[in-house]
Amino acid sequence: MTQSASASLKNPSFVLQSKDHVSIEDRPVPELKNPYDVLIKPRWTGICGSDVHYWVEGRIGSFVVEKPMVLGHESAGIVSQVGSAVKTLKVGDRVAMEPGIPCRRCVRCKEGRYNLCPDMAFAATPPYDGTLARYYVLPEDLCVKLPENMSLEEGALIEPTAVGVHITRAAGVKPGDSVVVFGAGPVGLLCCTVAKAYGASKIVTVDINEDRIKFALSYAATHAFRSARVSAEENAKNLIRDCELGPGADIIIDASGAEPCIQTAIHALRTGGTYIQGGMGKPDINFPIMTMCAKELNVKGSFRYGPDDYKTAVELVATGRISVKELITGKVKFDEAENAFKDVKAAKGIKILIEGPEE
């Protein structure tokens, strides 16, 4: 067997050098910053739309790649060293890695909404390096141990699952609710399956891509709706009629970020219904604010994940209440990571995983 190019390096890392230019580079092995840290070898990493966005555009909003940055933040790995104060993990443990370190001191952190911490150090968000490397350091409490019956590949899917858990929690999905999810990409699909686990009785997937709709129906959605090129009011009317949503949907989650979807969602909600913005798209859009007001809708944003979302995601998978294996549509070796980015950019498959570097 021939050894891969990165096998001889100390800490091979997949680095975005500048917009459109990635390469594998040897970086120093990171050191534990305090006694509560653990050193992890990420074994599988999923590619996220945001990684691809940085690669293609060099920025997301006000986050600009100004110096080379390691990509990747959806990882699971094996603990290879533990700090002296670490109690719950030992070398060899397999963990899902929550990739954002909050300051733990600010008001938002102290009130338990650490995902809103202004000093968050989040993997692969400039200037912080990501997880696509042989080694990565995290505090113990941001690692969730994977039970025996869960694979490291499933562990890599916990990051987007935690996003779905956070959104579904913000929506307050309860048994019997009707839930419409715009966008059948990974996060939209995960919102469908988590909503189902939380007891939603009707789960409508909305997309324009026939393959994605087919998959969503086989995965977790009970109904599907294809948006048409008509007004948002018209789309909403058709959605309610076709999916028998009565007075309108109880909850609508947008995982698309697309302006027509957001407008349709507001028109398709029942009075007093709940709207959650999960998808990111154009920063400013036309929003049916009169309808929102007259229907007294709850309109909320959702950003990443907070306390217990990772743990809940692991438990949902471990207990079989949701399944994430189906979402893995491709796997590539570390040295071929760039190909995986090209596939995600071309919207091939659902979730592509990159294997950790060979040794």
- In the complex with Zn ion, the residue whose CB is nearer, 109 or 266, is 109
Cβ(56)–Cβ(19) below 8 Å: yes
- In the complex with Zn ion, the residue whose CB is nearer, 74 or 250, is 74
- In the complex with Zn ion, the residue whose CB is nearer, 99 or 273, is 99
In whole angstroms, the minimum distance from the beta carbon of 355 to Zn ion comes to 18
Within positions 25 to 84, which residues make up the interface with Zn ion, using CB under 5 A? Answer: 48
**SS3 label, residue 337:** helix
Asked whether the bond before 147 is cis by omega within 30 degrees of 0, the reply is no
> Binders of Zn ion: how many residues, by CB under 5 A?
6
Within positions 95 to 114, which residues make up the interface with Zn ion, using CB under 5 A? Answer: 102-103, 106, 109
In whole angstroms, the minimum distance from the beta carbon of 154 to Zn ion comes to 16
In whole angstroms, the minimum distance from the beta carbon of 118 to Zn ion comes to 7
- In the complex with Zn ion, the residue whose CB is nearer, 100 or 273, is 100
Under the binding rule (CB under 5 A), the answer on residue 117 touching Zn ion is yes
Task: Look up tokens 């603990």; give the residue.
Answer: 79
**C-alpha Rg value of the chain to the nearest Å:** 21
In whole angstroms, the minimum distance from the beta carbon of 332 to Zn ion comes to 17
Under the binding rule (CB under 5 A), the answer on residue 288 touching Zn ion is no
Any bridge partners for residue 355, and if so which? 44
C-alpha distance across the termini of the chain, in Å = 13
- In the complex with Zn ion, the residue whose CB is nearer, 109 or 353, is 109
In whole angstroms, the minimum distance from the beta carbon of 87 to Zn ion comes to 23
Under the binding rule (CB under 5 A), the answer on residue 356 touching Zn ion is no
Under the binding rule (CB under 5 A), the answer on residue 257 touching Zn ion is no
In whole angstroms, the minimum distance from the beta carbon of 38 to Zn ion comes to 21
- In the complex with Zn ion, the residue whose CB is nearer, 152 or 156, is 156
Q: Write the CB contacts of 354 (distance below 8 Å, at least 6 apart in sequence).
A: 14, 44, 45, 46, 47, 72, 132, 331, 332, 333, 334, 337, 340
Closest to 73 (Cα-Cα) out of 279, 348, 310, 254? 310
- In the complex with Zn ion, the residue whose CB is nearer, 162 or 297, is 162
In whole angstroms, the minimum distance from the beta carbon of 46 to Zn ion comes to 8
C-alpha count within 13 angstroms, C-beta hemisphere, residue 50: 23
In whole angstroms, the minimum distance from the beta carbon of 48 to Zn ion comes to 3
Closest to 274 (Cα-Cα) out of 240, 248, 298, 300? 298
- In the complex with Zn ion, the residue whose CB is nearer, 188 or 273, is 188
Nearest-angstrom CA–CA distance, 310 and 163: 9
Closest to 276 (Cα-Cα) out of 259, 246, 255, 294? 255
Phi/psi for 126 (5° steps) reads -50, 140
In whole angstroms, the minimum distance from the beta carbon of 119 to Zn ion comes to 5
Give the other-Cβ count within 10 Å of 294's Cβ: 10
- In the complex with Zn ion, the residue whose CB is nearer, 297 or 314, is 314
- In the complex with Zn ion, the residue whose CB is nearer, 123 or 245, is 123
Cβ(177)–Cβ(307) below 8 Å: no
In whole angstroms, the minimum distance from the beta carbon of 268 to Zn ion comes to 27
Within positions 172 to 211, which residues make up the interface with Zn ion, using CB under 5 A? Answer: none
Nearest-angstrom CA–CA distance, 64 and 184: 28
> CA geometry: angle at 60 spanning 96 and 262, to 5°?
90
Cβ(95)–Cβ(77) below 8 Å: yes
Query: Which stretches of the chain bind Zn ion, using CB under 5 A?
Result: 48, 102-103, 106, 109, 117
